[in-house]
Amino acid sequence: MQLSITYWLSVWRERATAFDPGLTNLLLAARATASVMLTLLILYLLTQLLRLSPTLLLIGGAMAMFSVIAVNDSARRQQIITSALLPLPAMASITAGTLLAALPFAADAVFVVIIFAAVYVRRFGPRAFAFGMIGFIAYFIGMILAPEVGALPWLFVAICIGDGSGFLMRYVLLPERPRHALKRMLRAFIALSGRTLDDVITALESGNTAALRSRSLRRHQMRLNEIAIATESQLEKVLPGTDQSSATRTRLALAILDLELRTERVVVTCAESTNAAAQERALYALRALRVSIRNRSLSSAHELAALRVLQHAPLERAVRNLAHALSLIAKARLNAPTLADSQLEVPADEQTGSDEDISKPASDTADKNHAAHLSPATRQAIQAAIAGILAIGLGELVSPHRWYWAAIAAFVVFTGTNSRGELLVKSWQRIAGTVLGVVAGVLIGTAAQGATLIEAALMPVCIFSGYYLLRVSYALMIFWITILVSIVYAMLGFFSEHLLLLRLEETAVGVAAGVVVSVLLLPVSVRSRATADSREFLAMLADAVAASGELLAGGRPNGNLAVRARALDRQFQQLRSSARPLTRGIAGAFSRKGARRWIRSLMACRYYTASLARATQRAPATGLDWPPGNEFADAVAHISTNIRTLAGMCEQADDTEIESAAKRIEKLLEALPDDDGNAGNTALQREVLDSLGRIDRIVTTLAQDYGTLHRS
């Protein structure tokens, strides 16, 4: 009985951590809920004591709610500064909104200017993004609620209380603990790998390996990739900047990539296996590995007795490699600095998965218009402003008193989007969330109307649920926020089914305005955006490989390798963001697998390039002692040229073929002495050639598949 309880508790823990790795969603939701409720409590007592307008509760609550998600600086010190300064743009905007509330035309005109400014300033970084968002919200509230000018000092107090509550929760009572979050993410990553193995074990036990192509298993694999990406982002917070932490971060990232690839390799080889004896031996070993994962005893997974029965069939090799990867990531989690780079080897046939479905962001010549001459921030600011004008005009036709719902919907769909595809995805999610929220809001608002305690209890539930699901699904977040609006109107005595339906109509108008503008005015498709980012990433990758190679050969390349590495990291993050609609949601329904493989392949190139840069730090100042001649320099130049050729293929698809540098690298490996009295130098040379070879194989495979897809 005790064993059964322990087993199911471990299963529940695995499922919970896989859904919210790092518990970051839980922390965000708890922080937002506590901030809003503390603000409302303080302001309620203040309004009752001094007989002030209840408008203060709305303004303070909004400030507390949005300040939690608006601040996104990478460093904690910068976050604190941004949070402390947030009341300034809020005060300025709410003052303008209050003063112009009696002049509708002027207020609308300034509103459009603020929409433009709030979007345009995002180009200046996360602090400007936060100021723009808070400024927009504060002006919006001041214009709609139209408080008296004499109430401005108390509005400032409400803003400071809301921001102060958020500050207290974020930095004192519920602070971020990046190292703890990283440990939880690694546990979740390993746990989901174990759940994938459960599917493999079930398939082997039933003899139905075709089940390994099921939608459930594909979801596990996609989720495994998502957790890997989230863990990598968390590594940036835990191990920033310095050379030593950068090296540790790369080792951990390679360990994560290794486990992801080898887990997928087990699934693929099992689905293809027809050897009954090999399946039986693999099943025996996988059961033992699954027990180790559940018991968290992975550091010696590669030494399990069950692995000794494995022989040399592809499935058995895949299981053995998986055990090795599990052991390495466990050691990395416990003692990252001691993890040797040479242990993190990804087999050549596992770097990019199967040869099929490795696609690229295709070029979209239809987007090569005058939009290319504008910066993304300027283009999007113009789009948002025009969409705002359209939303205000159409919204007033629907309802002269509730048009602001259309305006805010038009603004929000441009937040966090960089292309037409991203905006379309966010638009349909907002509509879907609003529709479902209106239905639920009518039911809940009708049932709870007049029951103040129930309504008050439902408010934190809605806030918590909305923020907890924000990073999971924007539609679900809007669903809960719509219910929250229903409850607020019920508490104010304004609740009606007509009002909620009007919110839906105005939201649809605002979203439609945003979609029409994004499609007709300065459009940029998600594919063209991803293509441009891929091309830029590959160009930077070629430069980084060439610079590392020159330094390892004893030369002096232009520029600092650390600066190149950080720039490459930033460009990859940009690429991954712009390609996100291709990998998830409706926009990526027909190209999801290929886009994921493309991103993962470039991510592997990025890691191996970082490994090259790390090798330069351990090499002598005069470079490594390569065999006579220019073979090493020629091999590096060959690979760099291949990368640039692939970048050119992204820009203009053609039948260009590239030749692998594998023969050059093999020749260099053969020329290295087995024991020259300088084993450290030789080992480092082999590590460098191994990284170069892996980059070459990935790039060559991508280029070959690119040409095949183009010719077909």
Q: How many Cβ atoms are within 10 Å of 217's Cβ, its own excluded?
A: 20
Percentage of the chain beyond pLDDT 70 is 83
Tracing tokens 């590392």 back to the chain, one arrives at: 548
**Model confidence pLDDT, tens digit, residues 599-638:** 878 888 887 887 787 777 777 766 677 777 788 989 999 9
Right CATH for 178-346 from 2.40.50, 1.20.58, 2.40.10, 1.25.40 = 1.20.58
Tracing tokens 């345009």 back to the chain, one arrives at: 120
- 10 Å CB burial of residue 51 (0-12, 13-18, 19+) is exposed
- Give the side-chain half-sphere CA count within 13 A for 673: 11
3 state SS of 182: helix
Percentage of the chain beyond pLDDT 90 is 32
**Model confidence pLDDT, tens digit, residues 287-296:** 988 888 877 7
C-alpha radius of gyration, the chain, whole number: 28
The single-letter DSSP state of residue 173 is I
Gap between the Cα atoms of 157 and 563, Å rounded: 44
Tracing tokens 């030494």 back to the chain, one arrives at: 303
For residue 168 the two structure tokens come to 């207290």
**Model confidence pLDDT, tens digit, residues 350-379:** 443 333 333 344 344 434 444 446 777 888
Residue 44, pLDDT above cutoff 80: yes
3 state SS of 473: coil
Gap between the Cα atoms of 414 and 433, Å rounded: 17
Q: What is the pTM of this model?
A: 0.77
Give every CB contact of residue 38 below 8 A, 6+ residues apart in sequence: 64, 165, 168, 169
**pLDDT (0 to 100) of residue 392:** 94
Residue 547 C-alpha from the chain's centroid: 29
Helices (H), ranges, 553-661: 561-578, 580-583, 592-618, 631-651
Compare 620 and 697 and report the one with higher pLDDT: 697
- Residue 521: pLDDT band by 50, 70, 90 thresholds? confident
Gap between the Cα atoms of 210 and 270, Å rounded: 9
For residue 603 the two structure tokens come to 């991510």
Beta strands (DSSP E) in 154-243 are none
**pLDDT (0 to 100) of residue 406:** 93
For the chain, count helices (H), then strands (E).
26, 0
Question: Where in the chain are all domains bearing CATH 1.20.58.220?
Answer: 525-711
- Give the side-chain half-sphere CA count within 13 A for 285: 27
Q: Which of 155-164, 326-335, 405-414, 452-461 has the lowest mean pLDDT?
A: 326-335
Element (H, E) at 432: helix 420-448
Handedness of CA 463, 466, 469, 470 (dihedral sign): negative
Q: Which of 641, 707, 644 is nearest to 359 (CA)?
A: 707
**pLDDT (0 to 100) of residue 530:** 84
Gap between the Cα atoms of 489 and 477, Å rounded: 19
**CATH entry 1.20.58.220 includes domain 525-711:** yes
Give every CB contact of residue 101 below 8 A, 6+ residues apart in sequence: 107, 142, 143, 146
